[in-house]
């Protein structure tokens, strides 16, 4: 019985069985594109749980080494290292010290896994300053862009020397990619790459991360991170970072900024990364713990959406969970 009042085009046909849906899926996640961010804290004797990021810990150097090994065995695409020093000061000295905790962590991981995954390190001052800002402060309390660049240049050399493959420039200082690129090249580190946090928004979703790094920040980062209201300046930031020599560009956070991921993926001729940040993790974990959301489906749906938007590399605290679910 046919009649023109019924549809002749029926999209539901291709949704009827799991096999049909699998055949026509446009987006597939793969372990190799997932990067696991991981925290290490100086002076710990045991791994310490992070209250606002259930299931995650601040590692000791020894437990970091083991976790890196396991992540690589699971097939993760990369590791992004963050370190919490014992001593902080106004200029973030521990961040440039060749024996600082981040440099030691990079060395341990490099020794453990070599080139079998991509070792990335956070290049920013906020973990190392006593005021918690991503740069050094002027007398009036404002973040001093160009004085900060000098320190980023030194941090870059310390991290490159320790063995990082990619430096994650997350401080949002103007000119940071070019400055670090020149510092690396001048010191013979032409092969150390730069993952530029090109479009990094001043986001409430970094809240749990600040617990993870014991942040001392009192104010906010609105004078250097982007306003969530703006899209055009994300394109400017990407254009500048690429001109300055960025090897990959990243959007952060991910889920509330998928329009930005898409716009950048449409124009950038380098891989686009997206960072599913601590607050995105915590929201789902909290809802799942209450039985309000299916955790595993949420992990796969959020990651698939980020990839569909145009990210080819995704930083996620669920990297290993996702790999297990894909297995």
Return the number of the residue (97 or 126) whose C-beta is nearest ligand PBG: 126
Q: How far, CA to CA in Å, does 133 sit from each of 196, 230, 238?
A: 18, 22, 23
Return the number of the residue (22 or 249) whose C-beta is nearest ligand PBG: 249
Catalytic pick from 66, 218, 252, 307?
252
Q: How far is the CB of 214 from ligand PBG (least distance, A)?
A: 12
Contact residues for 267 (Cβ-Cβ < 8 A; gap 6+): 235, 238
- Reading the block at residue 159, the tokens are 């991290």
User: Is 200 annotated as catalytic?
Assistant: yes
Return the number of the residue (62 or 174) whose C-beta is nearest ligand PBG: 174
Yes or no: say if 36 and 168 are a contact pair by the CB < 8 Å rule.
no
Residue ranges that bind ligand PBG, judged by CB under 6 A? 122, 124, 126-127, 170, 206, 209, 221, 277-278
Q: Does the annotation flag 210 for ligand binding?
A: yes
Q: Does the annotation flag 150 for ligand binding?
A: no
Q: Strand 57-59 to strand 48-49: parallel, antiparallel, or no bridges (unpaired)?
A: antiparallel
Distance CA 89, CA 110 (A): 27
Q: How far is the CB of 25 from ligand PBG (least distance, A)?
A: 28
Q: How far is the CB of 207 from ligand PBG (least distance, A)?
A: 7
Q: How far is the CB of 104 from ligand PBG (least distance, A)?
A: 18
Q: Does the annotation flag 237 for ligand binding?
A: yes
User: Following CA atoms 176, 251, 31, 303 in sequence, which dihedral angle do they give, to the nearest 10 degrees?
Assistant: 160
Return the number of the residue (62 or 215) whose C-beta is nearest ligand PBG: 215
Return the number of the residue (19 or 103) whose C-beta is nearest ligand PBG: 103
Distance CA 204, CA 36 (A): 21
Catalytic pick from 41, 200, 218, 307?
200
User: Is 252 annotated as catalytic?
Assistant: yes
Q: Does the annotation flag 52 for ligand binding?
A: no
Q: Give the residue nearest to ligand PBG (CB).
A: 209
Give 75's DSSP letter.
T
Q: How far is the CB of 18 from ligand PBG (least distance, A)?
A: 33
Distance CA 198, CA 196 (A): 5
Distance CA 46, CA 305 (A): 36
Q: Does the annotation flag 308 for ligand binding?
A: no
Could you give the count of Cα atoms lying within 13 Å of 103 in the half-sphere of its Cβ?
A: 18
User: Annotated binding residues for 5-aminolevulinate, as ranges?
Assistant: 210, 221, 278, 317
Active site residues: 200, 252
User: Annotated binding residues for Mg(2+), as ranges?
Assistant: 237
């Amino acid at each position: 019985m046919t009649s023109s009042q019924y549809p002749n085009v029926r999209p539901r046909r291709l949704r009827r069985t799991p096999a049909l849906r699998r055949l026509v899926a446009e987006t597939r996640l793969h372990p190799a594109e997932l990067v696991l961010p991981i925290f290490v804290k100086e002076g710990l004797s045991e791994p310490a749980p992070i209250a606002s990021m259930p299931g995650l810990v601040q590692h000791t150097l020894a437990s970091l080494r083991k976790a890196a090994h396991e992540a690589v065995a699971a097939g993760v695409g990369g590791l992004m290292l963050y370190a919490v020093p014992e001593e902080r000061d106004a200029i973030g000295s521990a961040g440039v010290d060749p024996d600082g905790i981040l440099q030691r962590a990079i060395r341990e991981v490099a020794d453990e896994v070599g080139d079998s995954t991509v070792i990335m390190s956070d290049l920013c001052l906020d973990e190392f300053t006593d005021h918690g800002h991503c740069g050094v402060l002027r007398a009036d309390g404002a973040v001093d862009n160009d004085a900060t660049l000098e320190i980023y240049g030194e941090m870059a050399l310390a991290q490159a020397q320790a063995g990082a493959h990619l430096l994650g420039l997350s401080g949002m200082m103007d000119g940071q990619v070019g400055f670090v690129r020149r510092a690396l090249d001048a010191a013979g580190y032409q092969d150390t790459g730069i993952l530029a946090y090109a479009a990094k928004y001043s986001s409430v979703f970094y809240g749990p991360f600040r617990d993870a790094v014991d942040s001392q920040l009192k104010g906010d980062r609105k004078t250097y991170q982007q306003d969530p209201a703006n899209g055009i300046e994300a394109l400017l930031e990407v254009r500048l970072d690429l001109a300055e020599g960025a090897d990959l560009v990243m959007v952060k956070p991910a889920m509330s900024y998928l329009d930005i991921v898409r716009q950048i993926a449409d124009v950038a001729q380098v891989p686009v990364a997206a960072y599913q940040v601590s607050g995105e993790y915590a929201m789902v974990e909290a809802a799942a713990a209450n039985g309000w959301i299916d955790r595993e489906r949420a992990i796969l749906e959020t990651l698939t959406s980020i990839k569909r938007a145009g990210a080819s590399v995704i930083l996620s605290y669920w990297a290993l969970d996702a790999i297990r679910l894909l297995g």
